[in-house]
Amino acid sequence: MATRILVTGSSGQIGSELVPYLRSKYGADNVVAADQRAPRAPTLPDGPFVLLDTSNLGALTAAAKDHGIDTIYHLAALLSARGEMNPRVAWEDNMEGLWNVLEVARTSGIGRVFWPSSIAAFGPDVPRANTPQDAPLNPTTIYGVTKVAGELLCSYFFLKYGVDVRSLRFPGLISDALPGGGTTDYAVEMFYAALKEGSYNCFLREDTVLPMMYMPDALKAAVTLMEAAPGRVPRHTGYNLAGVSFSAGELASEIQRHIPGFRVTYSPDSRQKIADSWPRSVDDSVARRDWGWKHEYDLPRMVTDLLSRLSPRLAADRKDV
C-alpha cells in the first residue's frame, strides 16, 4: 500500500475524520490534507496541509509532485440538497474536480485513487428494498447525475489508461461533523438538537427510511477497499455499501432512550422528494464477497457512541460561552 496520500475535501464531513484515521495508520507526515479553506483546530491533527482547488489542474499537479503523492482520496464535492439550489455549479464542481484528479493520476503515475459515489446514483425506478448492485442508475437530482457520470468516468480512465480508481456508493453518513448540505443531514442535526435544544423539527417525514452508516464504518470501508489487492476489486467503481436502515422516527426513538425529554416534530420540505427517490436499503453482498466488507455499528450502538462523543464537547462549548 502506498504511503504518500493526498486527501482533497479534507475539511468536509468525511475528510475531517478520514485524515486523522489515515495519519494514525500511515504516519502524519505521509498524509497531506487539502481543501479550499484552511482547517479549524482541532479538526485535523498536526500534519501537512495545502490550500487547493481541485478545479485548478496545474495546482493539483504541482501538489501531487511536490509531496510525492502516490494515492489520492478525492472527497471534494457539492452535496445533494445544495446541488439542487445551483445545478450548474454542482456539475462543474463535482465533475471538473474528478476529471482533474483522474488526469493527474494518469499523467503523474498515481498508484490508486478513491472516489465516493452514493446511493443518490439510483432513482425511483429501482427496487427500494435491498436495491441490487446492478440496478438501473436513473437519478432525479443533479448530485445523483454527477455520481453516475463519475462512476462512468472512473471506469473509462481504468479501461483506457489503467488508472486504479476505486469507488463505492455510500449511504447517508452520520458523524459528529456538522452537516454539509445533504438530504440525510437530518440525522446529524437530530443529535445536535437533542443535546443543545431538547427539540428538533425534522425536514423529512417520520416514516422516511434511508440506508445510513456511522462514520467509523465508512472510514473502514474506504481504506479496506483501497488496501485490497487488485484481484479482489474486479468492479473498481460503484460498489453498493450498506450499514443500517432506519426511519427518522426510529432514530428519534433511539435518541429518546438516552434523552427522554427530547421532542421531535416533522415538517417535510423539498428534501423529502429527494429522499423518496432513494432506496430504503441496499444489497451490498458483492462488496462483502469481493473485498470482505462488513459493518460493525447497528442503530443502538451508533447512537450510544455518538452521544458519548458529542455530549462532553457540547458541554465544554457551553462553558466557553
Q: Give 251-298 pLDDT, tens digit per residue.
A: 999 999 999 999 999 999 999 999 999 999 999 999 999 999 999 999
Question: Among 143, 186, 239, 266, which one carries the catalytic annotation?
Answer: 143
| DSSP 3-state of 149 | helix
For residues 92 and 55, the answer to whether their CB atoms sit within 8 Å is yes
Please, is 268 exposed, middle or buried when counting C-beta atoms within 10 Å of its C-beta (0-12, 13-18, 19+)?
middle
Assign 315 a pLDDT band (cuts: 50, 70, 90).
Answer: confident
- Sketch the domain layout of the chain as residue ranges: 5-172+214-240, 173-212+243-280+298-320
Fold of 173-212+243-280+298-320: UDP-galactose 4-epimerase; domain 1 (3.90.25)
For residues 261 and 198, the answer to whether their CB atoms sit within 8 Å is yes
Average of pLDDT values for 58-84? 90
**Helix, strand and coil in the chain, % to nearest 5:** 45, 15, 35
Assign 190 a pLDDT band (cuts: 50, 70, 90).
Answer: very high
CATH architecture, range 5-172+214-240: 3-Layer(aba) Sandwich (3.40)
Q: Of 13, 56, 316, 303, which is closest to residue 178 (Cα–Cα)?
A: 13
Q: Distance of CA 61 to CAs 64, 105, 218, Å?
A: 5, 9, 28
Q: Of 213, 201, 107, 205, which is closest to residue 169 (Cα–Cα)?
A: 213
Average model confidence (pLDDT) across the chain: 92
Assign 321 a pLDDT band (cuts: 50, 70, 90).
Answer: very low
Instruction: Give the per-residue pLDDT at 80.
Output: 63
Question: What are the phi and psi torsion angles at 69 (to 5°)?
Answer: -70, 135
| DSSP 3-state of 285 | helix
Catalytic residue flag (residue 186): no
Question: What are the phi and psi torsion angles at 204 (to 5°)?
Answer: -120, 160
Instruction: Give the per-residue pLDDT at 79.
Output: 73
Q: Distance of CA 8 to CAs 34, 36, 246, Å?
A: 5, 9, 30
Q: How wide is the angle at C-alpha 15 spanned by C-alphas 34 and 170, nearest 5°?
A: 135
Assign 179 a pLDDT band (cuts: 50, 70, 90).
Answer: low
Size of the chain in residues? 321
Cis peptide before 42 (omega within 30 of 0): yes
Task: Please determine, for residue 318, whether its predicted confidence score (pLDDT) is greater than 80.
Answer: no
Assign 248 a pLDDT band (cuts: 50, 70, 90).
Answer: very high
What proportion of the chain, given as a percentage, has pLDDT over 90? 83
Q: How wide is the angle at C-alpha 80 spanned by C-alphas 74 and 84, nearest 5°?
A: 125
